[in-house]
C-alpha cells in the first residue's frame, strides 16, 4: 500500500491509473477504523482495480469543538488495518492539503438538512459537502463508498454529487454491527464499560420498533422508542424519527411504495451515537 500526504502527488498517480484504463474506487474516512470501514474497503476492492482510502479528521464538519478534540486518532493502527483489507493507496493529508485556502462555500441541500442531524448539528452537512467535494477533486474516483449508518449524510452526498455533476457513482453499503447489535462506530471506543452496555438501548429499540410496525402507527412507535430511551439514566435522546427514505421528511402512515427509515441519535454519557433501521426490508 502506497501512502500519500500531498494531494498533487496522489492526483498525478491516479491520473496515470485512469489513463491506463484502471478503475478507481474511494473510501473516505476520518480514521479510528473498525470492521465497518474495512467492509467498505473490501467491497471497493472487489468492484475496482484500485482501492483508495483517505484518513482525514475534517474540522469543518464539527460544530462542537470538544467533539473534534475527543475524536479518536490511531493512524498507525489504521494504516495496518487498511493494508490488510486490500487498500492500494492511502491519502493522509494535513489540513492545508485539503483546504489550501479557507473553504467559504455554502451548499443548498434542498431541505434534506432541515431536521435530524441538520437541526442538532448546525453547519455539519455543509462541512461534509466541503470535504467530500474536495476529496473527489483530489482522488477523481469512479465510485465512492459510504455506510448506511449515516443515512442522512448519504442522502446529502448523493444530492451534491448529482447537483455538481461529479462523474462518481455513490455506492451505499450496509450497517455493520457488533455481535450484540450495536452499530459499529469510531466513537464506541470512547464509551466506558457501563456506557457501552447502556448504548445497546439504541439498537435494541430500533429492532423492537421494526417488530411493532404491523400493529402500530408511526406515531405510536415514535412515542414507544422515545419513552424507552428517556427511562434510561445516562442516556439523552436527541431524536427518533420515522422518515421517508427519499425526502427524509417524517411519515405518518405506512406506505407500501416508499422506503421508510427509523433514525435515532442519543448521547450516552458525553458520547453522541446514531443508528437507523429500514422498516421496508
Q: Where are the domains positioned within the chain?
A: 2-173, 186-276
Q: What is the dihedral of CA 78, 81, 87, 89, to 10 degrees?
A: 30
How far is Cα 3 from Cα 10, in angstroms, rounded to an integer?
A: 9
Nearest residue to 203 (alpha-carbon basis) of 268, 125, 117, 114? 268
Supply 237's cell numbers: 435522546
User: Does domain 186-276 sit in CATH 3.30.420.40?
Assistant: no
How far is Cα 108 from Cα 110, in angstroms, rounded to an integer?
A: 6
Other Cβ atoms within 10 Å of 92 Cβ, number: 16
Does the active-site annotation cover 120? no
Task: Encode pLDDT of 17-74 as tens digits.
Answer: 999 999 999 999 999 999 999 999 999 999 999 999 999 999 999 988 888 898 889 9
How far is Cα 182 from Cα 149, in angstroms, rounded to an integer?
A: 11
- 186-276 and 2-173 share a CATH fold: no
Q: Global pTM?
A: 0.95
How long is the chain? 281
User: Does domain 2-173 sit in CATH 3.40.50.620?
Assistant: yes
Task: Encode pLDDT of 179-218 as tens digits.
Answer: 999 999 999 999 999 999 999 999 999 999 999 999 999 9
Say which of 34, 37, 165, 216 is annotated catalytic. Answer: 37
Q: What is the DSSP letter of 268?
A: E
Amino acid at each position: 500500500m502506497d501512502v500519500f500526504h500531498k494531494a498533487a502527488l496522489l492526483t498525478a498517480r491516479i491520473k496515470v491509473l485512469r489513463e491506463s484504463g484502471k478503475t478507481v474506487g474511494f473510501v473516505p474516512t476520518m480514521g479510528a477504523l473498525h470492521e465497518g470501514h474495512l467492509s467498505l474497503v473490501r467491497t471497493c476492492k472487489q468492484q475496482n482495480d484500485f482501492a483508495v482510502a483517505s484518513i482525514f479528521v475534517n474540522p469543518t464538519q464539527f460544530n462542537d469543538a470538544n467533539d473534534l478534540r475527543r475524536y479518536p486518532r490511531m493512524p498507525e493502527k489504521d494504516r495496518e488495518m487498511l493494508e490488510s483489507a486490500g487498500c492500494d493507496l492511502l491519502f493522509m493529508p494535513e489540513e492545508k492539503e485539503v483546504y489550501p485556502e479557507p473553504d467559504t462555500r455554502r451548499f443548498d441541500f434542498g431541505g434534506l438538512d432541515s431536521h435530524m442531524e441538520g437541526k442538532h448539528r448546525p453547519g455539519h452537512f455543509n462541512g461534509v459537502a466541503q470535504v467530500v467535494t474536495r476529496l473527489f477533486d483530489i482522488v477523481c474516483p469512479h465510485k465512492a463508498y459510504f455506510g448506511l449508518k449515516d443515512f442522512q449524510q448519504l442522502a446529502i452526498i448523493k444530492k451534491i454529487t448529482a447537483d455538481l455533476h461529479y462523474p462518481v457513482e455513490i455506492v451505499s453499503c450496509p450497517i455493520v454491527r457488533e455481535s450484540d447489535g450495536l452499530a459499529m462506530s469510531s466513537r464506541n471506543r470512547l464509551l466506558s464499560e457501563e456506557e457501552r452496555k447502556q448504548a445497546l438501548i439504541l439498537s435494541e429499540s430500533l429492532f423492537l420498533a421494526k417488530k411493532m410496525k404491523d400493529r402500530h402507527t408511526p406515531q405510536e412507535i415514535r412515542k414507544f422508542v422515545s419513552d424507552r430511551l428517556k427511562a434510561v439514566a445516562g442516556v439523552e435522546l436527541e431524536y427518533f424519527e420515522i422518515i421517508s427514505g427519499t425526502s427524509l421528511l417524517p411519515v405518518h402512515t405506512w406506505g407500501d411504495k416508499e422506503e421508510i427509515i427509523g433514525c435515532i441519535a442519543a448521547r450516552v454519557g458525553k458520547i453522541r451515537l446514531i443508528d437507523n433501521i429500514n422498516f421496508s426490508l
